[in-house]
Amino acid sequence: MSLLNSSSEVPGEKALLIESPGKRDKVSSTPSNVYLLNVAFYSFALFAIGQMFVAVLIAKSQAMVGDSSAMVIDSLTYLFNSYAEKIKNKSLKESVDDTLSAAEKELRRLERTRQRLWLEILPPLCSVMTLIVLTIYIIIDALNSLTEPDYVVGEDGSPDSNDEPNIGVMFFFSALNLGLDILNVTCFARAKHAFGFAVIDKDRHRYVLAYDGSLHNEMADSMKRERSEVDFSDLHTDHEDDCTENYSSISEAKKSDAVHILPSVEEEANSDDINLNMCSAYTHVFADTLRSTAVLIAAGLSYCLKIGEPQFVDAVAALAVSIIILLSLGPLLNGIIHAAEQLKQLSKLKTRFSPVPE
């Protein structure tokens, strides 16, 4: 989010200085979003392939199979998110045609914001839907194991050890997986996002209020209010009726001296405060950390304390993993829904103010 400071270079006037988040990131040398996503993709993909092989052929663990499958989905999500971030940055670096009118430039900026929203909605949405389907499958499989065990009974009436999950292997790989998660969380911490990414900008009401000529946060109330060069103030929607005010247009004489305090597209793109792509990636890293912890605890209880049969403990761990996955998707789904609403509003703006062909 931009940092706005006031100074008094001209007597009686306040000049607003906008510090670009992109410049701030370069100074602190924090890892870029694409770097974080690439690290997560390669580490998760390689580990998931190895763990899946061991889970099926050696450990025979439902929890490990479910965790490996989720990690494959995670790694594909990181790859998709990384591609979306690159496309967003590439589109924002395109030069603006100086021959365009003010209205055309504003509409071009609006279209870029719509593209950014699409790229923030589609990858997380595909990831969420795939993860939900996979989680439902794991839950059904685990419930079947609890209600109708399919292990082979030995001659002494006890479960055949060859058919039981290998708790020692589960414990070992869960510990490795947890270490991998800590590595990725550390990378996010280096980028100043150890506790994740916001999904909704409550102060700026995300994107659409940047185009209606209004400022609604506390900081903006103390600033000079001015209109965008394109008049969007007469657009009324259900979301804007309670908060949109009409500001008088500034005169032509003052336009050259006025300071544009609305965030530019470049500033929004460089800001890490609101980014559903990165929120999606962090959600998967956080969920995998909890999954690894759940499997580690289950393996420890069964291996060290001899609590329950290995297959029973494995099924319970699989259920715990699935519940954790579903709960972790809540904030991301909320952000996707909110972004979709803003995309709908921006589509209305474009339709309303696009020039009508003669």
Helix, strand, coil content of the chain in percent (nearest 5): 65, 5, 30
Q: What is the mean pLDDT of the chain?
A: 65
Token pair 């793109």 in the structure block, residue: 269
The range of the structural domain enclosing residue 210 comes to 34-92+103-150+159-353
With 90 as the cut, is the pLDDT of residue 127 above it?
A: no
For 105, the token pair is 């430039």
Instruction: Specify the pLDDT at position 47.
Output: 92
Q: Worst-scoring range by mean pLDDT, 52-56, 64-68, 150-154, 251-255? A: 251-255
Instruction: Specify the pLDDT at position 355.
Output: 60
127 burial via Cβ count (<10 Å: 0-12, 13-18, 19+):
buried
Angstrom distance (rounded) from CA 302 to CA 308: 6
Q: How confident is the model at residue 42 (pLDDT cuts 50, 70, 90)?
A: very high
Instruction: Specify the pLDDT at position 275.
Output: 67
221-225, Cβ contacts within 8 angstroms, sequence gap of 24 or more: 223/4, 223/14, 223/16, 223/261, 224/14, 224/16, 224/258, 224/259, 224/261
Tell me how many degrees the CA angle 85-91-92 measures, rounded to the nearest 5.
Answer: 90
Read out DSSP for 45-90? HHHHHHHHHHIIIII--HHHHHHHHHHHHHHHHHHHHHHHHHHHHH
Q: Look at residue 317 and tell me if it is in a domain.
A: yes
Q: How confident is the model at residue 346 (pLDDT cuts 50, 70, 90)?
A: confident
Angstrom distance (rounded) from CA 53 to CA 46: 11
Q: Look at residue 13 and tell me if it is in a domain.
A: no
Q: Look at residue 10 and tell me if it is in a domain.
A: no
Q: Does the reported pTM lie above 0.85? A: no
Q: How confident is the model at residue 336 (pLDDT cuts 50, 70, 90)?
A: confident
273-288 average pLDDT score: 71
Q: Look at residue 4 and tell me if it is in a domain.
A: no
Instruction: Specify the pLDDT at position 357.
Output: 56
For 280, the token pair is 């999606």
120-148 average pLDDT score: 82
Instruction: Specify the pLDDT at position 79.
Output: 86
Q: Look at residue 192 and tell me if it is in a domain.
A: yes
Instruction: Specify the pLDDT at position 306.
Output: 66
Q: Worst-scoring range by mean pLDDT, 75-84, 95-104, 129-138, 326-335? A: 95-104
3-class SS letters over 146-189:
HHCCCCCECCCCCECHHHCCCHHHHHHHHHHHHHHHHHHHHHHH
With 50 as the cut, is the pLDDT of residue 179 above it?
A: yes
Question: How far is the CA of 95 from the CAs of 87, 92, 153, 266, in angstroms?
Answer: 15, 8, 71, 12
Query: What is the count of structural domains for the chain?
Result: 1
CB 354 within 8 A of CB 221: no
Instruction: Specify the pLDDT at position 14.
Output: 37
Q: Look at residue 88 and tell me if it is in a domain.
A: yes
Q: Look at residue 12 and tell me if it is in a domain.
A: no
With 80 as the cut, is the pLDDT of residue 269 above it?
A: no
> Under DSSP, is residue 5 helix (H, G, I), strand (E, B) or coil?
strand
Residue 19 has φ and ψ, to the nearest 5°, of -90, 125
88-98 average pLDDT score: 63
Q: How confident is the model at residue 342 (pLDDT cuts 50, 70, 90)?
A: confident
Q: Look at residue 24 and tell me if it is in a domain.
A: no
Read out DSSP for 210-275? GTTT---SHHHHTSPP---SS--TT---TTTTTT----PPPPHHHHTT----SPPHHHHHH-SSB-
CB 142 within 8 A of CB 62: yes
